[in-house]
Structure 1
Amino acid sequence: MSEQLKQQFTKRIVELQKRIDSIHHDFANGRHADWSEQAGERENDEVLNALESEAKIEIQQLSNAILRIDNDTYGYCGTCGEAINEQRLAVQPSATKCIKCAD
């Protein structure tokens, strides 16, 4: 089970890294000379920056989850030490706290 989770998390990390690479490629294309086009591109840049930030955060969370799997601490609350509900982990695989401690 833990190897399957690691593979699943690693696959998601690869997908997120591809998204980040695509965003970097988009930024590298530069801007149009037309001022009105540049305004639209700046708005697009803000969206791309937000997507990149979210992807980086998720990569870090999944990497940390893989470390917890390796250390046999995955699925246990970092605060109280109790097992994290499987339904919570299904929704948020990188959860580090049980629902009681997360509040």
Structure 2
Amino acid sequence: MSTQAAYEELREALVARRDAMHSRLASIKRDVTREHSGDSAEQAQERENDEVVDAIGNETRQSLHAIQVALDKIEAGTYGECETCGEDIGVGRLRALPEATRCVNCAD
């Protein structure tokens, strides 16, 4: 498989992940904005749950950003170039981590 064909496959996977994460983020927003219980013990548990949901939301937003950066690089023709050394990021690494911005050597 050519590099371009591999990048197209990765682009499709990134778009699918992006769409799934947008759905997850919408669900998280619904959970955070729901009504809380009137019971103080339940409210304490709900607030703890809200903190976890908020952390998941932050991670999802960060992942969405990384995915969008990768998609922008595909569009610009710079996808697969290590941001540190400028060498190619191996297709195997990109398949494992499509939003990778550094080659294996620079990632350490």
TM-score (norm 1): 0.91
- Deviation of the 1:75 alpha carbon: 1.1
Q: Is the 8 A contact 2:80 2:89 kept in 1?
A: yes
Q: Is the 8 A contact 2:82 2:101 kept in 1?
A: yes
Give the residue type in structure 1 aligned to 2:24.
Answer: R
Structure 2 partner of 1:86: 91
SS at match of 1:44: helix
- Deviation of the 1:85 alpha carbon: 2.0
Aligned to 2:11, which of 6, 12, 28?
A: 6
Q: Deviations over 1:44-94 (max 9, x none)?
A: 111101110111111110100011111111111112111112222122111
Q: Is the 8 A contact 2:88 2:103 kept in 1?
A: yes
Q: Return the alpha-carbon distance in structure 2 between the equivalents of residues 72 and 63 of structure 1.
A: 14
Structure 2 partner of 1:22: 27
Structure 2 unpaired stretches of 5+: none
- 2:56 pairs with 1:51: yes
Q: How many residues were matched structurally?
A: 103
- 2:70 pairs with 1:65: yes
Q: Return the alpha-carbon distance in structure 2 between the equivalents of residues 46 and 56 of structure 1.
A: 15
Structure 2 partner of 1:76: 81
Structure 1 unpaired stretches of 5+: none
- Deviation of the 1:3 alpha carbon: 3.0
Percent identity between matched residues is 39
